[in-house]
Amino acid sequence: MARYSLAFLLTWFYLNLGATTWQVGPTRTYTYCSQVAPLVQHGDTVAIDYATYINDPQVIWNKNNLYIVGVGGRPRLEAGSIIANDMVNGKGIFVISGANVRVHNIEFANAAVQDNNGAGIRQEGRNLWISNCRFVANEMGILAGNIADCKTTVEYCEFLNGGSTFNPGYQHNIYINHIDTLVFRYNYSHDAIAEGHEFKSRATYNFILYNRIANETTEDSRTIDIPNGGTSVLVGNIIEQGPISANSNLLGYGLEGLTNPGPHVLYCTNNTFVNKKSNGSFIQVTNGTDTLFVKNNLFAGARTGGLINGTSLVLDSSNNIVNDMLSSFRFIDESAYDYHLSPDAGAVDAGMFISKTINGYSLQPSLVYVDTCLVETRILSGVTDIGAYEYNPPLSTFGSEFIDINIYPNPVSGSLFVNCNAAVKIKMLNSSGVLMKNAALQQGITTIDVAGWPRGVYFVIVDDGSPQLPQKIILQ
């Protein structure tokens, strides 16, 4: 499923006029990425056909403004003995040293090298953008080096089983070293192995937005580790520690020293923290942290080590719910990792509106994470609910039957998918109230093409003749 912003497409188009598209695939002239990498020039596109590519040598992309994309499905690049036995410069499947590179819709698997830091993607160039990718059983999913003036964006990606049994505790699902800014949004990072973290970043600015970052069944370490301080913003995440995690603390901040440029501020709003161990603590900050801002969060599970460990100079905390008993939160089904709220949950209408923004990122949640690696608009129904999810009553009724409609992805850029439990009619209006589409939906999933529509806000209304609560859709 393609997920592109219009701004990205326009920028990429103008930068790449006259560029070459290189095709890689079992039936193409070039059957492996390693054959194409020495040939590409700045601004080129590499289109990789849907297939499994096993035991290709390490591929170094050293040109700028490249677009590397899987087509026809998500191709799987599976590392093997060639990379594992590279004694000279073994780093991983892709080494990206060019600047302003975009990687989209590719799976990276089984990267292992001599020093146990084998990465699906090793980032060495500035301003990398990774979207809709999957990282499975690599020693490191993404490993970024120390890169000045660098912004890395990771979105709509899944990370699974990162780590190394040969060097436990030092390899992670994702590990970002000293860069300026990391934007990590709409991702699912889970079940790191061998005491690895689900997420670790030394970036000066971290924007961790609307993700599911979770351990369920493996022996990982911290769910989130931000070891060198700086400014970090966590909004709308599901953050879970499993029953056999090696580390009993879910979120660590500044614990290896506040060596990043200040201020050293950690903002946590509308997250759902879940601890399924019998012991543990939720947030640990190093003493001397400037500000800890904690509002509208759910803290569910044991806190034998305390809710917040360490002392910040300023603690701004309110409208959080804390309880050792998961059942008290009235989640839909915590045993199945479903932390949506039941209508009688104490978190419903118990939060506060937060008007503060940090570098353009709002602390008031506007989206909710949707499995797997999607988001949809968070629709307020009354006062803001506490936690990562907003309880919403059914969208409408049709006779005595509840009409349940799920619309995704949201934001959208190409195809909109509408999943309905009954046959209904809908109307789609733009923000000025102009009717854009009438559609008759059958039960199940209907695809609506909105790729040619102008960017902006649209509303979906069930057309059954009665007043309806419209659902807002953002087209980007």
pLDDT tens per residue across all 476 residues of the chain: 344 455 554 454 444 556 899 999 999 999 999 999 999 999 999 999 999 999 999 999 999 999 999 999 999 999 999 999 998 889 999 999 999 999 999 999 999 999 999 999 999 999 999 999 999 999 999 999 999 999 999 999 999 999 999 999 999 999 999 999 999 999 999 999 999 999 999 999 999 999 999 999 999 999 999 999 999 999 999 999 999 999 999 999 999 999 999 999 999 999 999 999 999 999 999 999 999 999 999 999 999 999 999 999 999 999 999 999 999 999 999 999 999 999 999 999 999 999 999 999 999 999 999 999 999 989 887 899 999 999 987 654 444 355 667 787 888 887 888 888 778 888 888 876 778 888 888 888 888 888 888 888 887 887 655 545 677 788 87
The answer to whether 289 and 313 are in contact (CB under 8 A) is yes
Same-domain pairing of 121 and 207: yes
Instruction: State whether residue 454 is helix, strand or coil.
Output: coil
Q: Are strands 361-362 and 357-358 parallel, antiparallel or unpaired?
A: antiparallel
Same-domain pairing of 231 and 311: yes
Domain boundary among 345, 377, 409: 377
* CA trace torsion 17, 154, 147, 114 (10° rounding): -110
Same-domain pairing of 344 and 412: no
Same-domain pairing of 409 and 359: no
Same-domain pairing of 436 and 343: no
The answer to whether 217 and 228 are in contact (CB under 8 A) is no
Same-domain pairing of 359 and 470: no
364-386 burial, b for 16+ CB within 10 Å, e for fewer? Answer: bbbbbbbeebbbbbbebeeebbb
Whether residue 1 is contained in a domain is answered as no
Domain boundary among 377, 404, 429: 377
The values of phi and psi at residue 14, to 5°, are: -70, -30
- If one counts every other C-beta atom within 10 angstroms of the C-beta of residue 404, the result is 12
**10: Cα separation from own chain's centroid:** 24
Whether residue 382 is contained in a domain is answered as no
Q: Which domain holds residue 312?
A: 6-377
Total domains present in the chain: 2
Instruction: State whether residue 64 is helix, strand or coil.
Output: coil
Domain boundary among 320, 343, 377: 377
CA 70, CA 49: separation in Å to the nearest integer? 6
pTM across the whole model: 0.82
Whether residue 387 is contained in a domain is answered as no
Same-domain pairing of 288 and 405: no
